[in-house]
Amino acid sequence: FFHQTLTAVKNWFTLFGWSKGQNPISVPHSLRRDVCIVHMTVSQDKTSKQNVGKAMKTFCEMLFHLSGQSVTGIALSPALPLDPVERMLQLHWQHSTLLSLLKSQGAYLAHVMPEFLLEPEDYKKWIKVQTARKVSRLLLFFSCCDKQMFVLEDNVFETMSKRAWTDVLLQIYKVFVLRRVPSHSLTDSSSLEIIQNMPRIKSEPLSSNIYSPHERTILTWLNKHYEKNRKIVWKDCEKGEVPPMRWIVNFDRDLLDGLVLAAQVAAYCPYLIATHFVRMYTSPRTHEQFLHNCLILVNAMQAVGLAIGIKV
């Protein structure tokens, strides 16, 4: 599941995360490299410095492109110190600033420490500095020096860093992209009549400690289209009767059988009903039937060019 999530994240940010077209990324390697690499040579020329600035600018440009605002306190072309410890400290501070910005926008990143976003060698420097306490004057750069320190082995750090960067990207998507989803009240009488007997998804900010208001807007959208289209999509189904009414309250278990997502696709591409969706199981009970439905859904999305990085 995590691997599939990571693949979807990489594909989306590669295609849509940048203002000047596609930019392939890998998680966490290219993200860490873009903000961390400095050629530590004795004679470091201006070209090397410009390359580092350009790499960091790319990441900040992505944030500006998606959010419409620059990261306060971080220049688009930061000049990193030549001293490896000072450079590590500045990068840690920049990551702390980034996490603070995202949290202020509603991101859930309490489990992500700034040091998890560093390169492995910089992480080792961070541990050494924190352990030895011999460079306390440099610790003034940190805004979270009093937090618990985690000493991780190399392979564990790589796993943690990959997860941390993935969660950062997911939260960037949530707070800067998903919030653009408009929240419109249902005003037409037909729509109100269709869902008048259904439980409602509350949109108040404090009504859920799991989903944001924009995610709950999507749940409302899923409920509306499923209830509106289930009798249309599967009125002539081959493998059962019209599926029953349901209340969709999450993005995992309620979408497993493919029926809810198929109803959404059918709302915009009704021509796929006769060619694909009528062959779905409307009351799936086995893993094979769930897989059958999901394969049909993926084939339908591929038919209209929507299956970006989707695999079963």
Same domain, yes or no: 255 and 291: yes
Q: Are 181 and 217 in contact (CB under 8 A)?
A: yes
Same domain, yes or no: 169 and 195: no
- Predicted confidence (pLDDT) at residue 220 exceeds the cutoff of 80: yes
Same domain, yes or no: 174 and 201: no
H helix or E strand, kind and range, residue 80: none
pLDDT of residue 260: 94
Q: CA 99 → CA 53, 75, 167, 172, 213, distances in Å?
A: 20, 16, 11, 10, 21
Q: How confident is the model at residue 192 (pLDDT cuts 50, 70, 90)?
A: very low
Q: How confident is the model at residue 259 (pLDDT cuts 50, 70, 90)?
A: very high
Question: Would residue 44 count as lying in a domain?
Answer: no
pLDDT of residue 232: 92
Same domain, yes or no: 196 and 87: no
CA distance 270 to 277: 10
Give me the amino acid identity at 8.
Answer: A
Q: Tell me which of 117, 152, 180 is where a domain ends.
A: 180
Q: CA 253 → CA 248, 256, 259, 290, distances in Å?
A: 9, 5, 12, 12
Question: Would residue 312 count as lying in a domain?
Answer: no
- Predicted confidence (pLDDT) at residue 158 exceeds the cutoff of 70: yes
pLDDT of residue 40: 38
Question: Would residue 309 count as lying in a domain?
Answer: no
pLDDT of residue 25: 87
Q: Residue 308 has which token pair?
A: 């970006």
pLDDT of residue 163: 94
> Residue 164, class by beta-carbon neighbours within 10 Å (0-12 exposed, 13-18 middle, 19+ buried)?
buried
Q: Tell me which of 160, 180, 200 is where a domain ends.
A: 180
pLDDT of residue 161: 94
- Predicted confidence (pLDDT) at residue 216 exceeds the cutoff of 50: yes
Q: Residue 280 has which token pair?
A: 């779905």
> Residues 88-131: pLDDT tens digits?
998 898 889 889 988 988 888 989 999 999 999 999 999 988 88
Q: How many domains does the chain have?
A: 2
Write out the residue range of the structural domain in which residue 69 sits.
Answer: 1-39+55-180
Q: Tell me which of 155, 180, 205 is where a domain ends.
A: 180
Question: Would residue 83 count as lying in a domain?
Answer: yes
Q: Give the pTM.
A: 0.62
> Residues 239-256: pLDDT tens digits?
778 998 888 888 888 999
pLDDT of residue 142: 53
Same domain, yes or no: 170 and 294: no
